[in-house]
Amino acid sequence: MDRLPQAPPLIAPLPPQADRPLWSVMIPAYNCTHFLPQAIESVLAQDPGPAHMQIEVVDDASTDADVQAVVEELGRGRVGYFRQPTNVGSLRNFETCLNRARGELVHLLHGDDLVLPGFYAELGGLLARYPQAGAAFCNYHHIDESGSRMYTQNSAEMEREGVLEDWLAKIATRQRLQYVTKVVRRSVYEHLGAFYGVTYGEDWEMWVRIARYYPVAYTPHVLAQYRTHTTSISSEKTSTAQSIRDIRFVMGIIQNHLPEDRKKEVLFESKKVWAEYTVTYTTKLWHKHRNLKSVNANTREILRLHINPHISWELSKLYTKIALELLGLKKYVKAALQSTGLKAKN
């Protein structure tokens, strides 16, 4: 089986079941055992019981620890465990999660993320109040490897809960949420299929695909935490600029989900947004790793996306800093400024 499906994989409908739970919390995991206990505990802390919630870890043949032993110790029989016979890759593992899900509502909770108290009660209530919505999501915090809060997602989509207006165009312009925040009706996955095409940005395409066919509900409450760490797929791909190449591929797919009169406008704005985001990230990448190869790779992709005076200025500043550091002149510049009574910024 192809690790990277080229079309949305089928999610088979379930036969009628009288005892079907409302929730399926499916936890895809691969070599994230250091974080996995926190993810499981965050779910168990608001567990309504097995009649209402399926909880299962789907392990993509991890090699960092005995994941089954961790699940059995923490779950005490409450958390299911399924291990892929071989490593199938993240998209096929997500597909397995969705096909194994028995609940009406599916939450894909990555093994390194967390939900906060009230997540399931509020998101479940939101979808009950807006039955026309195919999915719902909340606001979230970004956390680092230690679990410390880095920042909250920039701004709320709405001040109050409700169904989002003009959501297709908004989500098609840029990625605005993470897996951990999103709950999707299983029937929606049965209709639209699973994730495909790339392993960075595949969720963005899915959220656009859902918005094309279904209303989406939202609550501005912060009820989830998305973890950033150096061993994640996104971190690895960003350092090589593969992430932005994947994003350009996803932009092409997204065009197929848009009405003709919005395609050009959305694509232009999307390229601008992603180029500016990548400039900011590339600058942080240099300060953290001092990897000129990564900076150059990302810069080439930025120039393929979009260029404007702001982006040109930021890239000029970045390469000036790099040149000074590589030439060993930075300390002399600081000394010269200090001799005049001025302070040098980093």
Find, among 243, 169, 182, the residue nearest to 208 by Cα: 169
pLDDT at 94: 98
How far is 238 from 217, CA to CA, in rounded Å?
30
DSSP annotation string for 179-197: GGGEEEEHHHHHHH----S
Q: Both tokens of residue 89?
A: 């890759």
pLDDT at 16: 85
3-class secondary structure, 207: helix
pLDDT at 48: 97
Residues of the chain with pLDDT under 70: 1, 153-154, 230-236, 329-337, 340-346
pLDDT at 215: 98
